[in-house]
Amino acid sequence: MKTLDIMGGEVRDIVLDPADEAEAEATVAVMGGEDWEFWIDALRQADVLAQGFQTVAFSYLGSDLTARIYREGTLGRAKADVDRAARAIGERLGDLDGRAHVGVLKAIVSQASTAIPVVPLYMSLLFRVMREQGSHESCIEHIDRLFREGLYGDTMPRDEVGRLRADARELAESVQAEVARRWEVVDSANIAELSDIAEFREEFLRIFGFGFPGVDYDADVDPMDGT
């Protein structure tokens, strides 16, 4: 598969070995739904859940371009466990008329999304295409829509297992067709023309407090100075 070095702008091929079973189980333990169940059970035991309580786990599935590394890999095993946990939690909340949801979100810039091979290239192309087609959202806009249309509305689509599909705009046929077309021709020479790599890089740096205008990052800082 192709991947992208966000900071260097290099598009290159990458080959990954499959995870072994121990690595897959560890991924499920860290990213699956068990901790979600622990939290809801603790709140239930403390008797602090209101009638009609709702809980939602944020998830991501991605497109066919990232399926082999994401949906069909160890991450996919963890996502399936989140689905399992949603069903289990929902059953336990029956007497409260409570509900447990899985919200499948669009791709966002995060520390994880830059570290997973293949994903940075896909996302850089995706953001450019969605901006050109007028469907791109910021993180805040996206989650606001999840709550308005999904959790507290009835206009957000659900899939066959009941997940709220806030990623429908990302997976729109027109978006994915254009991303796939660019995927076939993108390289290090034309990455800036075909993608939003500069914006991706800026958002990534801001996560860690860098890339803000008006800040002299080369200036000496006294950590003991509280002014």
Report, as residue numbers or ranges, the catalytic residues: 70
CB pairs under 8 A, 24+ apart, for 172-181?
A: 172/135, 174/133, 175/126, 175/129, 175/130, 175/133, 175/135, 176/63, 176/64, 176/65, 178/129, 178/133, 179/63, 179/65, 179/122, 179/125, 179/126, 179/129, 180/64, 180/65
DSSP state letter for 159: -
Supply the DSSP string of 93-144, one letter for each residue.
TGGGT-EEEEEEPPP---HHHHHSTTHHHHHHHHHHHHHHHT----HHHHHH
DSSP state letter for 64: G
Length of the chain: 227
